[in-house]
């Protein structure tokens, strides 16, 4: 398709979805200003398939805000997902977005400059900034007529398999989730409570696929943690994620020196500065768009991590296919992927990345982040 045809189709597409499922139903839609970046947003609470139990919390919904940035008939989609532990809420995200004046920017390609502007509006607010960042990337990719993995010079075939998450749960629910996860080649097991060994043994009776252990800061005793790392290594575990509190550098460094398994940072690493800071304490990092503020920072984190010899894992929150597909554009740079957030919800308004025989599979012919509204 030539660029002119693409732009005409995009304009038609944008007109067709003006009042589509998440299309600001019931809200007064501002008149679009030609030649300007028009930002709009709407809350969209995510309904979880199963209660999501972690070492330190449990929930059935995740607050979420969907974003659009429109420029001359082309629409970029973005999303902010706010798991409670990151400290943002629907209210804080909407409040931040309502303060933005993106109309001052005529060129959506100035993503770094728009990030600098957002940082002057308020510090933090990473999920809110991420929503704008994803929508800008989607818009820019659509203008260029290319998906982001191509713009970044990556090969979609290099994307790894994704893990499927088994939360902390009763034996019956764990069994049911392992059955649901049968198409996946890797399982991610949430740990940090007393039932860890029981859960892994239950899984091992059902399948021998590799597992990864995500402790979500749930361990406190270094000797017990080391014993668990050896025990897990004998049960085909790939790595241990965030064993101790994010600020517990001493125990983490001690464990890393002795552990037979790589130790991966999640809660301890948000942006590129943390990657440098934590490079001597962890073996790898878990990059998530909602933590770091979007695709721009995530791409830099992956480059810096690789330059420092760290493993790269690509994760997500419970998100719609919008956020997960945006993250998946980076998947060819990842050693491991944990991109199942869209599979954990029942009200996904987008179609995007697919998991084919366990592998992260991008919609290769779609420009931008690669999603369409359904």
Please identify, among the stretches 17-25, 173-181, 228-236, 264-272, the one whose residues bind Mg ion according to the rule CB under 5 A: 264-272
C-alpha distances out from residue 302 to 287, 295, 363, Å:
8, 10, 22
62 beta partners: 46
Chain residue whose CB lies nearest Mg ion: 266
The reply to whether 169 sits near Mg ion by the rule CB under 5 A is no
Please identify, among the stretches 15-23, 89-97, 212-220, 364-372, the one whose residues bind Mg ion according to the rule CB under 5 A: 212-220
For Mg ion, which is the closer residue by CB, 214 or 248?
214
- State the DSSP H helix or E strand holding residue 321, giving kind and residue range, or none if neither: helix 321-328
Backbone angles phi, psi at 267, to 5 degrees: -60, -25
Distance between CA atoms of residues 156 and 134, nearest Å: 19
Name which position in 266, 297, 340, 348 contacts Mg ion (CB under 5 A): 266
For Mg ion, which is the closer residue by CB, 64 or 214?
214
Q: Is the dihedral of CA 143, 287, 183, 373 positive or negative?
A: negative
For Mg ion, which is the closer residue by CB, 142 or 190?
190
For Mg ion, which is the closer residue by CB, 76 or 293?
293
Interface positions, 215-244, toward Mg ion (CB under 5 A): 241
CB of 188 to Mg ion, least distance (A): 8
CB of 286 to Mg ion, least distance (A): 6
Please identify, among the stretches 20-28, 208-216, 271-279, 297-305, the one whose residues bind Mg ion according to the rule CB under 5 A: 208-216
Name which position in 64, 70, 196, 214 contacts Mg ion (CB under 5 A): 214
Please identify, among the stretches 10-18, 80-88, 186-194, 206-214, the one whose residues bind Mg ion according to the rule CB under 5 A: 206-214
CB of 267 to Mg ion, least distance (A): 7
Degrees to nearest 5, angle at CA 20 with 99 and 37: 35
CB of 264 to Mg ion, least distance (A): 8
The reply to whether 340 sits near Mg ion by the rule CB under 5 A is no
Please identify, among the stretches 123-131, 266-274, 339-347, 362-370, the one whose residues bind Mg ion according to the rule CB under 5 A: 266-274
Contact 301, 285 (CB under 8 A): yes
Distance between CA atoms of residues 68 and 135, nearest Å: 6
Where would I find the beta strands (DSSP E) of the chain? 38-43, 46-54, 57-62, 64-71, 74-81, 163-166, 186-190, 211-214, 237-241, 263-265, 284-288, 311-315, 336-338, 350-351, 354-356, 359-361, 372-373
For residue 38, what are its two tokens?
Answer: 């028009």
Positions touching Mg ion (CB under 5 A) are 214, 241, 266
């Amino acid at each position: 398709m030539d660029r002119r045809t693409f732009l005409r189709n995009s304009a038609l597409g944008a007109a067709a979805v003006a009042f589509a499922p998440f299309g600001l139903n019931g809200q007064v839609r501002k008149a679009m200003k030609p030649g300007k970046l028009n930002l709009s947003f709407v809350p969209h609470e995510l309904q979880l398939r199963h209660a999501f139990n972690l070492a330190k919390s449990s929930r059935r919904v995740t607050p979420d805000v969907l974003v659009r940035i429109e420029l001359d008939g082309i629409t970029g989609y973005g999303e902010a997902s706010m798991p409670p532990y990151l400290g943002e809420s629907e209210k804080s995200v909407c409040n931040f977005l309502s303060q933005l004046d993106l109309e001052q920017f005529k060129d959506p390609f100035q993503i770094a400059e728009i990030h600098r502007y957002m940082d002057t509006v308020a510090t933090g607010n990473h999920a809110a900034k991420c929503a704008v960042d994803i929508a800008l990337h989607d818009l820019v990719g659509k203008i260029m007529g290319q998906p982001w993995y191509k713009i970044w010079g990556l090969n979609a075939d290099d994307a790894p398999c994704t893990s499927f998450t088994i939360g902390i749960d009763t034996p019956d629910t764990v069994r049911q989730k392992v059955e649901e996860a049968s198409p996946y080649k890797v399982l991610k097991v949430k740990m940090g409570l007393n039932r860890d060994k029981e859960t892994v043994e239950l899984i091992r009776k059902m399948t021998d696929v590799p597992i990864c252990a995500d402790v979500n800061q749930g361990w406190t005793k270094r000797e017990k943690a080391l014993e668990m790392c050896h025990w897990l290594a004998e049960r085909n575990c790939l790595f241990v994620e965030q064993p101790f509190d994010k600020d517990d550098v001493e125990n983490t460094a001690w464990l890393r020196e002795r552990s037979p398994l790589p130790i991966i940072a999640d809660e301890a690493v948000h942006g590129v500065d943390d990657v440098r800071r934590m490079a001597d304490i962890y073996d790898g990092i878990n990059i998530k768009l909602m933590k770091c503020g979007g695709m721009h920072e995530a791409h830099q984190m992956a480059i810096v991590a690789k330059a420092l010899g760290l493993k790269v894992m690509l994760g997500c929150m419970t998100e719609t296919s919008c956020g997960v597909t945006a993250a998946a554009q980076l998947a060819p740079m990842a050693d491991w992927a944990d991109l199942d957030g869209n599979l954990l919800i029942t009200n996904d308004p987008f179609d995007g990345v697919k998991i084919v025989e366990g592998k992260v599979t991008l919609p290769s012919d779609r420009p931008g982040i690669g999603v369409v509204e359904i």
